[in-house]
């Protein structure tokens, strides 16, 4: 991914490999922790709502930038095959199941589907800045 961003033109600024890995590790640990807390807390809880929002964020991330940029640039962006073949179908199923089985209410699903992706987008920017500040 970092090498791809350097030659992606106006789509992305270059990101150093260590900075990218730092952000990925933080997001992976965060996703794991949120999933564990959601599993322990049960239906219609804050952590269940955050998990739902995280699912929506990953669905949106599959669409933009991965699939949209790949179509626009007529080349495969790193992660697009995983996004299209795994993330979209599995996360769509999980989101629908969470709503159907009452793990999130419709209202909370809407709120967390907006709030969590925006928060994660902000975190990406902050983690990249922090990684550069740390000299990674």
pLDDT digits 0-9 by tens, 34-48: 999 999 998 899 999
Across the range 66-85, mean pLDDT stands at 86
CB 98 within 8 A of CB 91: no
Across the range 97-120, mean pLDDT stands at 96
CB 6 within 8 A of CB 14: yes
CB 2 within 8 A of CB 78: no
How far apart (Å, rounded) are the C-alpha atoms in residues 56 and 62?
A: 10
pLDDT class of 131 with cuts at 50, 70, 90: very high
How far apart (Å, rounded) are the C-alpha atoms in residues 16 and 30?
A: 21
Could you give the 3-state DSSP secondary structure of residue 87?
helix
Residue 15 confidence (pLDDT): 75
How far apart (Å, rounded) are the C-alpha atoms in residues 77 and 5?
A: 9
State the alpha helices, DSSP H only, in 1-136: 2-6, 17-41, 46-61, 68-73, 80-82, 88-100, 106-133
Could you give the 3-state DSSP secondary structure of residue 29?
helix
Q: Is the predicted pLDDT of residue 12 greater than 60, yes or no? A: no
pLDDT in tens, 80-93: 899 899 999 999 99
Residue 47 confidence (pLDDT): 96
Instruction: Write down the pTM of the prediction.
Output: 0.86
């Amino acid at each position: 991914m970092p090498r791809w961003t350097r030659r992606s033109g106006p789509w992305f600024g270059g990101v150093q490999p260590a900075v990218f890995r730092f952000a990925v590790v933080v997001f992976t640990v965060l996703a794991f922790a949120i999933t564990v807390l959601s599993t322990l807390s049960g239906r219609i809880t804050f952590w269940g709502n955050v998990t739902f929002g995280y699912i929506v964020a990953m669905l949106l991330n599959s669409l933009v930038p991965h699939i949209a940029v790949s179509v626009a640039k007529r080349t495969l962006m790193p992660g697009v095959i995983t996004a299209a073949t795994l993330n979209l179908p599995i996360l769509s199923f999980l989101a629908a199941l969470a709503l159907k089985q009452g793990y999130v209410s419709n209202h909370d699903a809407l709120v967390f589907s907006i709030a969590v992706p925006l928060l994660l987008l902000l975190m990406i920017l902050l983690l990249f800045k922090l990684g550069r500040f740390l000299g990674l």
